[in-house]
Chain A
Amino acid sequence: MSAPAPLVRFEGVGKTFPDQVALDGVDLDIHAGEFFALLGPSGCGKTTLLRLLAGFETATSGRVLLDGEDLAATPPHQRPVNMMFQSYALFPHLSVERNIGFGLRMQGLAKAETAARVADLLALMRLEPFAARKPDQLSGGQKQRVALARTLARRPKVLLLDEPLAALDRKLRDETRGELKDLQRRLGATFVIVTHDRDEAMVMADRIAVMDAGRIAQVGTPAEVYERPVSRQVAGLLGEANFIESGGGWIMVRPEKMKLSIKPVKAGDRVFEGVVRQAAYLGDRTSYRVEVDGGLVLSAVSGGRRANIGDKVWLSYAVGDAVMLKS
């Protein structure tokens, strides 16, 4: 890939709060048109990074650049970025329509133009029947769509989404993931999303920055960070993983890459003989916990149901499916 100038660039960004170091030398590029996810456990600094971009926090060190320009001197209300808040932060005294049009009125856009854009967004978000309602008369999913429409209204260079799906129930969350990704692709907009949910990041994002303790642990496509993690933390954050000690380092193998067989396999250094301790049948697959020699418990996933608790099994993996980790 040729390297065009990034839309957003964090350069050695540090942020220290009185009681903690939130960010510790973050370098990160986000390109135009990307769906970019900041993934990490709570307290890893991902929200602080987003708020720095929105202008609600100022960096203790380093620079935040948008289109090559340092944002330090630009207050939040003059930045060409818009944020969708985790609580949605809809204005309770304004109707859906006026909430969505708020940013346009602040821009001083002509009334007719504002009305037209609001109408477009109401249609896009399937909110037309609720245009005159107040936020407290909406369901959770409707509120979420109003918040998204309001964030889109000013056609920002970057859309910041702080845990946009966290307040929805499970079923709605799964549906909305796909819609959000679809919307981003159709608009060709740049989305930066903060999430602690690895499925959310994997399903929606073009690239993921995995964060840990105020640092960027790894940046890559979902496949890269899942299949080629650089550390145990990253591997564990993105899914279940087996860690096998090997000559001062670790070998990581995903459970679905562990081949489970009920017939003896010729012994080798990539073969483990063991006993099934747990077997969770999940319909399309079964997840096994197998205790192998030396007390190590390994996970394996295979289609159908092939072994029961107490059965003797053999686990093996291919060289290409294993990842060497130094830490």
Chain B
Amino acid sequence: MTNLFGGTKPSHGEERRLRRVSNHAPTAQGRGFPFVLPPYLWLLVFFLFPFALVFKLSLSHTVLAMPPYAPQLDWRAGPAGMAAFVRQLDLGNYSRMGGDHLYLTAYLSSLKMAAISTAILLLVGYPIAYGMARCSPRTRQVLLLAVILPFWTSFLIRIYAWIAILKPEGLLNAALHLFGLAPLDILNTDTAVYIGLVYAYLPFMILPLYASLERQDPALVEAAADLGCPPWRIFWSIVLPQSVPGIVAGALLCFIPIVGEFVVPDLLGGSGTLMVGRVIWTEFFSDRDWPGASAVAIVLLATLVIPIVLYQRHQARALAEAD
């Protein structure tokens, strides 16, 4: 509103009229309100509320009872009970985590495995997505179906199938034997975990990449060639830079769940495979340490959310600068 009147401050009457006008013409925000409400409600019910529960749990203590933690919030005790409840909460679980190497090692190891598998996913997924975006519409339909098809089978069953493939007397070694090659002992190693992770998350990498590559105007590639760009360079100077949003989306979509992944390392990994998801599982189910497991989960969430928020801020700033 600042420059509407060439810098001079509007008179009272003008101001009132302006306000009236803006009341009549719904702003983008006003018009959008009923439509943005459901996502926020969803976020509140399915994310913020459970998050608050887990956070509260992470500040409690383990006790030998059911439920296995204290203090319990007693609504009937009123404000006094509430105050007593809050006084009993502390950061003990967090300081315990800080004192134990295991947790830090597990976090770092999870981040490393997630980073490596995301990099492999990108290398494997990009050519597939590129091929899908460039092929004929009919072939594209078939390929899209092939990417989505695995979802029709239970995730757990598909990972079990990898055990059958990778175990010492499994399909892989049978195939190697057929070609006269030495058998591989992969199951229960990090290699098996990487194979499983890349296999399980490939669709989540391919689909956002495909969506961003498919949107590119094919004339851009011709225009680059026309302007003297050799074929190999077209990819680096034209195709790749424009697919960065797809790369970021795919990488986040894979990296974040992989950091907390439990099923794949548990089924395919060995005793040496250390990942946070497994630590949480063990604390929760084997040690019955619900508060401890909650604290590990909260820290995991923080390590994942903070970089994403920073990245989004950066994006918003870049967008603002572009205008």
Residues of A within 8 A of B (CB): 54-56, 75-78, 81-83, 85, 87, 89-93, 102-103, 106-107, 134, 137, 150, 153-154
Pick the contact of B225: A77, A90, A93, A153 (CB < 8 A).
A77
Set of chain B residues within 8 Å of A103, measured between Cβ atoms: 227-228
The total number of A-B Cβ pairs within 8 Å is: 59
- Residues A89 and B229 in contact, CB atoms below 8 Å apart: no
Residue of A nearest to B322 (CB): A134
Given A91-B238, A93-B242, A134-B322, also A85-B222 (CB < 8 A): yes
- Residues B224 and A102 in contact, CB atoms below 8 Å apart: yes
Residue of A nearest to B240 (CB): A93
- Residues A83 and B224 in contact, CB atoms below 8 Å apart: no
- Residues A77 and B226 in contact, CB atoms below 8 Å apart: yes
Pick the contact of A89: B220, B228, B231, B241 (CB < 8 A).
B220
Given A56-B222, A89-B222, also A154-B217 (CB < 8 A): no
CB distance from B242 to the nearest CB of A (A): 5
Residues of B within 8 A of A (CB): 217, 219-220, 222-231, 233, 238, 241-242, 322-323
Pick the contact of A76: B217, B219, B226 (CB < 8 A).
B226
- Residues A89 and B217 in contact, CB atoms below 8 Å apart: yes
- Residues B223 and A106 in contact, CB atoms below 8 Å apart: no
Set of chain B residues within 8 Å of A150, measured between Cβ atoms: 227
Given A92-B242, A134-B322, also A106-B222 (CB < 8 A): no
Set of chain A residues within 8 Å of B222, measured between Cβ atoms: 54, 56, 76, 83, 85, 89
Q: Given contacts A78-B228, A106-B228, list 6 more A-B pairs with CB under 8 A.
A: A55-B226, A76-B226, A77-B225, A77-B227, A89-B220, A103-B228
| Most chain B CB neighbours (cut-off 10 Å) among A103, A107, A153, A154 | A103
Pick the contact of A77: B217, B220, B228, B323 (CB < 8 A).
B228
User: Could you tell me the distance between the alpha carbons of A153 and B228 in the complex, rounded to whole angstroms?
Assistant: 12
- Residues B223 and A85 in contact, CB atoms below 8 Å apart: yes
17 contacts between A and B (CB under 8 A): A55-B225, A55-B226, A75-B225, A77-B226, A77-B231, A82-B226, A83-B226, A85-B219, A85-B222, A89-B220, A91-B223, A92-B242, A93-B241, A102-B224, A103-B227, A137-B323, A150-B227
User: Could you tell me the distance between the alpha carbons of A89 and B220 in the complex, rounded to whole angstroms?
Assistant: 5
User: Could you tell me the distance between the alpha carbons of A137 and B222 in the complex, rounded to whole angstroms?
Assistant: 23
The 10 closest A-B pairs by CB, nearest first: A103-B227, A106-B228, A89-B223, A89-B219, A76-B225, A93-B241, A77-B225, A85-B219, A83-B226, A77-B228
- Residues B227 and A154 in contact, CB atoms below 8 Å apart: yes
User: Could you tell me the distance between the alpha carbons of A55 and B223 in the complex, rounded to whole angstroms?
Assistant: 11
Set of chain B residues within 8 Å of A93, measured between Cβ atoms: 241-242
Set of chain A residues within 8 Å of B219, measured between Cβ atoms: 85, 87, 89
User: Could you tell me the distance between the alpha carbons of A185 and B2 in the complex, rounded to whole angstroms?
Assistant: 48
Residue of B nearest to A160 (CB): B226
Pick the contact of B226: A54, A87, A134, A137 (CB < 8 A).
A54
Residue of A nearest to B238 (CB): A91
CB distance from A103 to the nearest CB of B (A): 4
- Residues A77 and B230 in contact, CB atoms below 8 Å apart: yes
